[in-house]
Amino acid sequence: MNNKAEDPNLWNDASEAQKLMRERQQLDDGINGVRSFEQQMQDAVDLIELGEEEGDADIIKDAEETLRTLRAEAARRQVEAMLSGEADGNDTYLEVHSGAGGTESQDWANILLRMYTRWSERQGYKVELLEVHDGEEAGIKSATLLVKGHNAYGWLKTESGVHRLVRISPFDSNARRHTSFSSIWVYPVIDDSIQIDINESDCRIDTYRSSGAGGQHVNTTDSAVRITHMPSGIVVQCQQERSQHKNRAKAWDMLRARLYEAELKKREDAANAEAASKSDIGWGHQIRSYVMQPYQLVKDLRTGVSSTAPDDVLDGDLNEFMEAALAHRVNGGGDAVVDDLN
């Protein structure tokens, strides 16, 4: 690949050149990551031997802590190696939809939007907000993110489903406990090598005025675009750009991605339950519960993984949940991969 990258004719085809450079960078990052891992592990072992020779318990303690950190990293890399699906390496769209319950669910949807934005930023991914429909009083009715980065879809795909929140409502003057539901839907960005044919006569295209925070950012023209694919019932919308033409182009890309994702789901038995969860945002369809009162606990109902630090989870600390869900999915819904790196 280095030799190909030095070919002066490479950039005659910009699309192929970019594809080559991306793959080359991914391989380079992977190789350097493994070499760095091996070096850190050897350094820690050498420090332990030095500490034992000199009777220095602090050196040994620090080196053992490094090994524990590397062990966690090895487990993460083990799961990441499972991301071998045909679209796992792609960028991804992530939709948030509030469930029944008005302001409560809309506020919860907004919290989830922030959670996935924070997780993406922690991973070094680039995040774009493509569209958002604000709630009447607070929160959002729906929103769509575009998350760009290697394996973005592979990591996020297991987050599709209904998420349940239990808390003392900040909107209830009697400080009663409320249960709210919102759903997440994840589907991959597809590249030019994947052909998805859409009959435009099967689609209804609507334009509307973008919603926003007010001031200079409020769109004064009907530039936002919504496309409804009648045969499947899939609806996509985009209001990121001020130009209706650009929003329309992005909406078509999103529709092709949704149709491709639907075809992928047909091939994956493990995803059937996720597809059903889209139809009913409520009891019996949730994949994860976030309890803030009367105790604090986040629990994934598929894998049993839990955390007693919901504030950290809602700030984007999701890797443990994602790793377990990926392992669970790869194993056909059975036991998660056992970390036996002793």
311 torsion bin: left (phi>0), alpha (psi -120 to 50), beta (else): alpha
| Cβ atoms of 90 and 187 closer than 8 Å | no
The tens digit of pLDDT for each residue in 202-228 reads: 899 998 877 655 444 445 567 889 999
**CA-CA distances (angstroms) from residue 336 to 22, 70, 302, 325, 330?**
31, 20, 10, 8, 9
pLDDT for the residue numbered 333 = 56
Q: How far apart are CA 165 and CA 109, in angstroms?
A: 10
Q: Which residues contact 174 (CB under 8 A, 6 or more apart)?
A: none
The tens digit of pLDDT for each residue in 141-194 reads: 999 999 999 889 999 999 999 999 999 888 777 778 889 999 999 999 886 656
Identify the top-confidence range among 79-88, 92-101, 171-180, 260-269: 92-101
pLDDT for the residue numbered 82 = 78
| Cβ atoms of 183 and 283 closer than 8 Å | no
Q: How far apart are CA 328 and CA 79, in angstroms?
A: 10
Q: How far apart are CA 92 and CA 300, in angstroms?
A: 22
Query: How many Å from the N-terminal Cα to the C-terminal Cα in the chain?
Result: 37
pLDDT for the residue numbered 284 = 56
3-state secondary structure of 131: strand
The tens digit of pLDDT for each residue in 43-72 reads: 999 999 999 999 999 999 999 999 999 998
Domain coordinates in residue numbering, the chain:
2-80, 92-330
Pairing, β 161-168 against β 286-291: parallel
Residue 299 CB neighbours (<10 A):
17
pLDDT for the residue numbered 219 = 53
Confidence of residue 280 (pLDDT cuts 50, 70, 90): low
Question: Over 70: is that where the pLDDT of 244 sits?
Answer: yes
Question: Over 80: is that where the pLDDT of 283 sits?
Answer: no
Question: Over 50: is that where the pLDDT of 255 sits?
Answer: yes
pLDDT for the residue numbered 212 = 56
Pairing, β 140-148 against β 92-98: antiparallel
Q: Give the mean pLDDT of 6-12.
A: 88
pTM assigned to the model: 0.69
Question: Over 70: is that where the pLDDT of 9 sits?
Answer: yes
The upper half-sphere exposure of residue 67, i.e. CA atoms within 13 Å in the direction of its Cβ, equals 15
CA angle 76, 154, 160 (to 5 degrees): 110
The tens digit of pLDDT for each residue in 12-49 reads: 888 788 888 878 887 888 888 889 999 999 999 999 99
Amino acid at 106: Q
Question: What angle, 0 to 180 degrees and rounded to 10, lies between the N-to-C axes of helices 14-54 and 57-80?
Answer: 150
Pick the CATH number of 92-330 from 3.90.1200.10, 3.40.50.11540, 3.30.70.1660, 3.30.360.10: 3.30.70.1660
Question: Over 70: is that where the pLDDT of 279 sits?
Answer: no
Tokens, residue 264: 């992928």
